[in-house]
A and B are shown apart, each in its own frame.
Chain A
Amino acid sequence: MRIAIIDTSTTRAAIISDGLREAGLDDLVLIDPDGPLVAQVESAKPEVVLINLENPSRDLLEDFFAMSRALARPIAMFVDQSDAEATGAAIDAGVSAYVVDGLSKQRIKPLIDLAVRRFQAFSRLQRELDDARNALAERAVIDKAKAILMKRRQIDEPEAYALLRGQAMRTNRRISEIAEAIVTSEALMGDME
């Protein structure tokens, strides 16, 4: 069963194709998002197309499928509706599937389930990555604030950190927020003395 993957994120496309390969589905075609979409899909002759829901080429792709059906070409695909619940889960996960006519429900279902799990895994990864990025940025701000306090108050690092933490606890705010306020005010008023 040949599966074409169209995704604006090449990382996610890689994650999905890895998952499909692990499940023994190794007849995969990755469509280059920067290349001509229709020509690539046409020459790939897939039986299933997976495309991310927010892909800006979906209307173009659906029109191509509609034209192919009208002309009775081999690549006449339909929106997958074999299992309403699975289709709903796919839309929730952010993926849309098209299948050639006559492909059995038993063959499509596991494939869709797998794509959904991989899409969800990607979203989770992205969230974790965002969290890590935020944490890194927060740490940088805290370090900066500590340096400002150490210089201004002539104290050492543990004392600077204790000051930040104490203020955060008293005002019921996060340490990074206090640090940010210090860095901002330093930027605005640092040269006044």
Chain B
Amino acid sequence: MTGERFRIGFLPLVDAALPVLAHELGFAAAEGLTIDLIRDMTWATVRDRLLYGHTDAAHMIAPLAIATTLGKDRPAIPLAVPFVLGLNGNAVTFSTRLAAETGLTGELGDPTRIGAALKKAADARVAAGKPLRFGVVHRYSSHNYMLRYWLAGIGIRPDHDIEIVVTSPPFAADALAAGEVDGICVGEPWNSIAVDRGVGHIALATAQIWRRGVEKVLAMRETVLDERREEVEALVRALHAAAAHFIEPDAAAESADILARAEYLDAPRDAVLRAITDRIRLVPGGDPVHYPDFMFQYREAANFPWRSQAAWLYSQMVRWDYMAFSGGEAAAASNVFRPDVYRAALAGSGAPLPGASSKLEGGLDEPIGAGSTQGRLLLGSDRFFDGRAFDPDDIESYLAELP
């Protein structure tokens, strides 16, 4: 029953959990699949292996799947995303020096209030001729877009008042320690490792910037999806089952054991466990703070590839690549997310299936029931920190109103 094989590329991050657990705990085997996991250290290599057939699918930062499809930096190769591996789970971490300057405490603070303190520090550094510098994991990452969204929203202009550079997650703590960057926005466990090493203080969870922000996705070449459609649907079911298991409180310890292993994250188990259980140690030596939905892997149809999420990422690509909006590109970007495959894969299961493929992003203050073709779907608050909402049908007006 394990005839169909998927080689899946990944980076050592906590949110690679679903393909890893699908392999380790038999969810793939239950669907008649075998998963081979291919670990790399850069997104460039994860992408290249996917494009040149070393892998069949990949754990990938969502904007990179869109950039590859649109042909940013290289000839376009269409990718498809039938499944979202999770929402949020990243953090913004300041160097100990910047944390002291901005008065970070042992609690998760308000993004606007921390932003005001950061703006003061940023202005002072610009005046001194040495602007603040933050590291993000990739140019085409949600980390980059979330960080920039927050900075611009609190009056710090990215690329003008602050430098943003690329720092690979496993080296982010070193970069903080060496003073190469004043802050980082990376995935777990790398923020927690910086805190445990005493070189950083977590300032914000990205979930405070956008409560339901799309993070890693399962990406594959569109041709692979077309040729192996039934197997891909089986893979979606395996990952969905892994997600249901992953969020069970009783499963956390075992998940941390597996993920911490050398062949996966090769990272301290305790830091991995804290991320999985939404308990974040903000300051060196401090007690972990519970922040619900720090990582968001399953509930509210979190794995459903909303086309409006892809559209939001495209809007930020336009914004920060300083390019002109194109209706054709916006459509191509939205089409990378494939709710049709997700629905077909999970039809007949108990999984809630949204009736719509697109929604207003950031429009919900309170949990609300949403239209579904199967199961009961409840959506929680999905607010952006500044209260703006994104209408995927009017990206241009949205962009015009952003700071």
Contacts and interface: CB of A to CB of B under 8 A. Distances in A.
Contacts of A56: 41-42, 168, 170-171
A62 B49 contact: no
Interface of B: 40-45, 48-49, 52-54, 73-75, 137-139, 165-168, 170-171, 321-322
A150 interface: no
A96 B44 contact: yes
Interface of A: 53-63, 65-66, 70, 78-79, 81, 87-88, 91-92, 96
A59 B137 contact: yes
Contacts of A78: 73-74
A59 B48 CA distance: 12
Given A63-B138, A63-B165, A91-B54, A55 B42 contact: yes
Decide if the interface of chain A is mainly helix, strand, loop or mixed: helix
Contacts of A55: 42
A60 B165 CA distance: 8
Contact of B168 (A59, A66, A88, A91): A59
Given A59-B168, A79-B73, A96-B44, 10 more contacts: A53-B45, A55-B42, A58-B42, A60-B166, A62-B139, A63-B165, A79-B74, A81-B74, A87-B52, A91-B52
Of the candidates A55, A57, A58, the one having the most CB atoms from chain B within 10 angstroms of its own CB is A58
Nearest to B44: A58
A59 B137 CA distance: 8
A70 B165 CA distance: 14
A66 B138 CA distance: 11
A92 B53 CA distance: 9
A55 B137 CA distance: 15
A55 to B, nearest CB: 7
A62 B73 contact: yes
Contacts of B138: 59, 63
Q: Which of A53, A59, A62, A88 lies at the interface centre, i.e. has the most chain B CB atoms within 10 A of its CB?
A: A59
B42 A59 contact: yes
